[in-house]
Amino acid sequence: MTNLLKDVQNLLTDLVARYSHRVDYLMIRLEEADGTDILLRGDKIETLSEAISIGGHVRACYKGGWGLSSFNQLSTIADRIEEAIVASRMVGDEKTILAPVTPVQAICEFPLTGTNPRHISLSQKKALCEHYSELLKSVDKYITTTSVRYADTSQRVIIATSDGSLIEQSWTDMEMRFAATARNGDTVQTGRETNGSRKAYEDLNNLDEQVKSAAQRAVSALSLPSVKGNTYTVVIDPILTGLFVHEAFGHLSEADMAYENPDILEVMTLGRRFGHKELQIFDGAAPVGHRGSYFYDDEGTPATTTQLIKDGVLVGRLHSRETAGKLGETPTGNARCLDYHFAPIVRMTNTWIERGKTPVSDLFSDISEGVYAKNWLGGMTNGEMFTFSAGEAWMIRNGKIAEPVKDVTLSGNVFQTLGDIEAIGDDFYWDESGGCGKGGQNGLSVGCGGPSLRISGVVVGGEA
């Protein structure tokens, strides 16, 4: 440990001890981050940058009221502490309720298994993006627009709390996004692919086939018929399963949604049955190696694995210390912030449906007419309702995958859909491409996973 780091830790500990008697809770979070951002649209470089940011925030709680003040000059930290304390005392008029956690003093680094992207030059990263851009454009003459996005960031965070915790934690995150749009007259189709990693730069260095597949799907879809809108039995692949469990169910499991909304709290009553006895849903940062993994959340609570649905029954939800305290439950280590400009809020980490027992080929049996949907193109949720667009789709006829179709959107009520899961495949895939948005904090790294699913009664949009 460097003398500078030790000095910073001593400073934070001293400041917390000096000011904490004026509030019920006090926390200082320092962050150092450096990263790369590259965006190519066609032949044009729109973004090519490397940046270093150093900053932090102070959170104070008094009688249930929170004050937050952020800074990027360590010399001003005492003033920022005063601001946070004054703000909390201005708004606090109830009772501070924070579920207890055991104080921790720890230094943790999320290990890389290969090359650190910070050791790769900007010119090499730019060349990689240009290579993938050329691949997209080379697929077919109908490709009219392409984009390639590269981003990496290395972060080190130090947290000091009035509970006595002092935690240093560091990690490196990488992501690439690819899109290709094909046009033939008035017909326009887009294909997308995303890949991310917290393991090694090499994970982004050999994606030629994945990149080309985005452009090939866009071109192929130009000549495909649109699906006929109807209600079908649908089989979805693990990537769509991961998207579904994150977007449609995971956000409803975030406890701040529940305690702020009595209607959601009533619907999300622990012990309520939501699906098949084989259905198991989890969220957790404790599993190693995924983009939503860490050792401690941004309040210093240890990472856990939380079972949300067990044997089809709702048994858990995701918490910060405050939501756990207010609902009389246990903190799960899900308080996360995008960076030092924001306060931690309840966020998912890695969310997945456990693999089932049904061979994937058997998921299609006995479906006289249905839809097989793979990958994702886009989507949105609104409370209990969801709509997702599939990246690829085929009709299912007499238990077999038949002709490909396009413009497949899947819509429904998440609780009804969970109950309509008829079979859970014995396959499983982790999708590390996730970037989650909530409360203005967009692009937070998450992981999603799951098996293929067979779901009855899904509304599929398409041609009338």
Share of the chain above pLDDT 90, in %: 91
Residues in the chain: 464
Question: Which CATH class for the 3-221 domain?
Answer: alpha beta
User: For 404-414, what is each residue's pLDDT tens digit?
Assistant: 999 999 999 99
Cα 29 to Cα 7, 222, 443, distances in angstroms:
15, 51, 20
- Residue ranges of domains in the chain: 3-221, 230-461
What is the reported pLDDT for 1? 42
Q: Which residues of 248-272 are buried (b: 16+ CB within 10 A; e: fewer)?
A: bbbbbbbbbbbbeeeebeebbeeee
pLDDT band per the 50, 70, 90 thresholds, residue 7: confident
pLDDT band per the 50, 70, 90 thresholds, residue 262: confident
Question: How many other C-beta atoms lie within 10 A of the C-beta of residue 361?
Answer: 11
What is the reported pLDDT for 434? 73
User: What span, in angstroms and rounded, lies between the C-alpha atoms of 106 and 8?
Assistant: 15
Residue 352 has pLDDT above 70, yes or no: yes
Question: How many other C-beta atoms lie within 10 A of the C-beta of residue 169?
Answer: 20
- Amino acid identity of 239? I
pLDDT band per the 50, 70, 90 thresholds, residue 2: low
Share of the chain above pLDDT 70, in %: 98
State mean pLDDT over 290-311: 97
User: For 163-208, what is each residue's pLDDT tens digit?
Assistant: 999 999 999 999 999 999 999 999 999 999 999 999 999 999 999 9
Q: Are 249 and 241 in contact (CB under 8 A)?
A: no
Q: Are 150 and 129 in contact (CB under 8 A)?
A: yes
Cα 267 to Cα 82, 314, 360, 458, distances in angstroms:
41, 10, 32, 21
Q: How many helices (H) and strands (E) does the chain have?
A: 9, 22
State mean pLDDT over 46-67: 97
Instruction: Give the pairing type, strands 385-397 and 400-405.
Output: antiparallel
